[in-house]
Each structure stands twice: as structure tokens, then as C-alpha cells.
Amino acid sequence: MPIYEYRCEDCGKAFSIKLSMTEHEKGNIVCPYCKGVKVVQHYSSFFAKTSKKS
């Protein structure tokens, strides 16, 4: 499951949540610090781990 990063506009804190793509598309993300619902996704880089084929 992907890890999504968000920032709460009520308290200003950033947090990460592991969600399935279906849960992410539904929205309804709540800040774990202040329980606020004014949450925006914070885009960041990602890391992909692959196997090396010879």
C-alpha cells in the first residue's frame, strides 16, 4: 500500500498515512493531531525498489 503525505490547514502539521488507493480516492482524511478535516495532500518524491535482472 502506498504512503500518502498530507498537511493539516487547521494546525499546520504534516503527517503520513498508509492507505489503499480506494481509501485515498474516497478522501475523508482526518488529521491525527487535531482531528481537523481541512487536509491537503503534500506531494513528495517516491522510492521504487526493484530487483536487478542480469
Q: From first to last of its 54 residues, what are the pLDDT tens digits of the chain?
A: 788 999 999 999 999 999 998 888 898 999 999 999 999 998 877 677 777 775
pLDDT at site 5: 93
User: Is 25 inside a domain boundary?
Assistant: yes
The number of beta carbons lying within 10 Å of the beta carbon of residue 33 is 13
User: Is 12 inside a domain boundary?
Assistant: yes
Residues 7 and 38: beta-carbon distance below 8 Å: no
Residues 27 and 8: beta-carbon distance below 8 Å: no
Give, for 26, the enclosing helix (H) or strand (E). Answer: helix 21-26
User: Is 46 inside a domain boundary?
Assistant: no
Say how many domains are in the chain. Answer: 1
pLDDT at site 54: 57
pLDDT at site 40: 94
Tell me how far apart the alpha carbons of residues 3 and 25 are, in angstroms, rounded to a whole number. 13
pLDDT at site 12: 95
User: Is 49 inside a domain boundary?
Assistant: no
